[in-house]
């Protein structure tokens, strides 16, 4: 299963093509749009969310809400394109307008300009922008529907914003309630503290990051492989998470905490009562690069958004003189968006792993093969 995306932040649309979907998977367009709306939500978001009201248009690969087995293509229109047509239109435009040469620290601006031999960082930032993730939410939402048909669920919540940390551990069934909270935090007191922090940062022209926890429930054991490094499930999922803009670290299960403890306090002991089980899940549902039947537990660290309204010290590439970084319309924090995006990329990466093991040209074959697994 493969997802290819195209499109720029202020271009006409974001485009996606999914290859490898079996036929007869029922597509719920309203559910896809629901996740697109959630991606645009959250305390601390900027002005663009008031312009874009993302919805998906399925272009091919689906008839009467069922996949055909052919490539599924889709588009998410950029409503803001009309405000940028004179600046970015592929048919011809005024490239001197909105030219960006005061490259921003923490962005792809400078490295991209040098790599692709450009004199305007807009030719880099338009594609490097996290706006691209709207297409990955669509792809991930479709993959989520594939997994859901097998009984596999994905959810998550925001564990911290800046230095405001929720220390609690929650049952999987509680996680969906996070989407009704302003910052997707389940501890209301910590969420209020985080809101106050974001208010202060906004007044100071600064930004914040956070930590997001993603969980997968219902996946049987044996997905991924210990036989080749590139097929290890944790490597695949962590790679998918790290492909998301602004993500700088990933943990599986105990993660870095495991390095501080004795082995006797880390490894999950195994029991048998008609079937194998564990009383703890410090491994985060993955052992030896394979799912072990427990919940998969992943945490990701999102850095603060690098576009600061007050601007950081940088260089103007048009004259190599010191200056302050250019300001673009920005969020103070986008941890809620990141949580939805991370659920989506985990869903797609996992669906790819599952489809590789199960095969199947249609959903009937896929379901039969999954049910046959121990």
Of 216, 247, 203, the residue nearest 337 (C-alpha): 247
Cα separation of 127 and 23, whole Å?
A: 32
| pLDDT tens figures, 145-172 | 999 999 999 999 999 999 999 999 999 9
* Cα angle: 13, vertex 17, 19; to 5 degrees: 175
Spatial CB neighbours of 285, under 8 Å, sequence gap ≥ 6: 216, 219, 253, 291, 292, 293, 294, 295, 296, 297
Cα separation of 272 and 256, whole Å?
A: 29
Percent of the chain surpassing pLDDT 70: 97
Cα separation of 287 and 295, whole Å?
A: 12
The architecture CATH gives domain 2-371: 4-Layer Sandwich (3.60)
**Measured on CA atoms in the order 21, 24, 28, 31, is the torsion positive or negative?**
negative
**3-class DSSP state for residue 74?**
strand
Domain borders along the chain are 2-371
Mean per-residue pLDDT, 21-25:
98
* pLDDT tier, 310 (very low <50, low <70, confident <90, very high otherwise): confident
Spatial CB neighbours of 12, under 8 Å, sequence gap ≥ 6: 77, 78, 81, 90
Burial category of 161 from C-beta neighbours within 10 Å (exposed 0-12, middle 13-18, buried 19 and up): buried
What is the H or E stretch that residue 251 is in?
A: strand 247-252
**Is pLDDT of 250 > 90?**
yes
Strands 270-272 and 247-252: unpaired
Q: How many residues does the chain have?
A: 374
Mean per-residue pLDDT, 30-44:
94
**Is pLDDT of 17 > 80?**
yes
Tell me the whole-structure pTM to 2 decimals: 0.95
The neighbour count for residue 93, using CB atoms within 10 Å, is 14
What residues are paired with 286 via a beta bridge?
291
According to the model, what pLDDT value does residue 247 have? Answer: 97
Give helix 335-358 / helix 133-149 axis angle, nearest 10°: 50
C-alpha separations of 268 from 10, 238, 305 in Å = 48, 21, 37
With beta carbons less than 8 A apart as the criterion, state whether 327 and 311 touch.
yes
Cα separation of 332 and 241, whole Å?
A: 21
């Amino acid at each position: 299963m493969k997802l290819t995306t195209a499109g720029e932040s202020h271009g006409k649309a974001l485009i996606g093509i999914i290859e490898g979907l079996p036929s007869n998977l029922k597509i719920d367009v309203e559910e896809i749009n629901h996740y697109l709306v959630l991606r645009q939500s959250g305390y601390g978001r900027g002005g663009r969310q008031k312009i874009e009201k993302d919805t998906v248009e399925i272009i091919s690969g689906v008839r009467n809400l069922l996949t055909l087995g052919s490539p599924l293509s889709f588009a998410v229109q950029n409503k803001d394109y009309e405000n940028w047509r004179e600046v970015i239109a592929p048919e011809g435009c005024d490239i001197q307008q909105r030219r960006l040469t005061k490259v921003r620290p923490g962005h792809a601006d400078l490295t991209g300009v040098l790599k692709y031999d450009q004199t305007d960082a807009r030719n880099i930032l338009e594609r490097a922008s996290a706006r691209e993730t709207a297409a990955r939410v669509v792809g991930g939402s479709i993959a989520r529907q594939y997994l859901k048909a097998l009984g596999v669920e994905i959810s998550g919540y925001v564990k911290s914003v800046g230095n405001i940390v929720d220390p609690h551990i929650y049952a999987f069934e509680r996680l969906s309630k996070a989407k009704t909270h302003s910052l997707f935090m389940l501890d209301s007191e910590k969420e209020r503290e985080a809101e106050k922090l974001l208010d202060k940062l906004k007044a100071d022209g600064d930004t914040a990051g956070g930590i997001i926890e993603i969980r997968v429930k219902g996946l049987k054991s044996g997905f991924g492989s210990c036989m080749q490094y590139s097929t290890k499930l944790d490597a695949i999922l962590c790679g998918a998470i790290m492909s998301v803009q602004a993500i700088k670290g990933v943990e599986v299960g105990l993660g870095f905490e495991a390095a501080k403890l004795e082995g006797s306090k880390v490894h999950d002991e195994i029991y048998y009562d008609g079937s194998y089980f564990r009383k703890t899940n410090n491994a985060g549902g993955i052992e030896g690069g394979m799912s072990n039947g427990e919940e998969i537990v992943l945490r990701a660290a999102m850095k603060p958004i690098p576009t600061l309204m007050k601007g950081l010290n940088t260089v103007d590439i048009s004259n190599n003189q010191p200056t302050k970084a250019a300001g673009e319309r920005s969020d103070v924090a986008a941890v809620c968006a990141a949580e939805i995006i991370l659920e989506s990329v985990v869903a797609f990466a996992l669906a790819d792993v599952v489809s590789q093991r199960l095969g199947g040209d249609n959903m009937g074959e896929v379901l039969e093969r999954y049910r046959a697994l121990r």
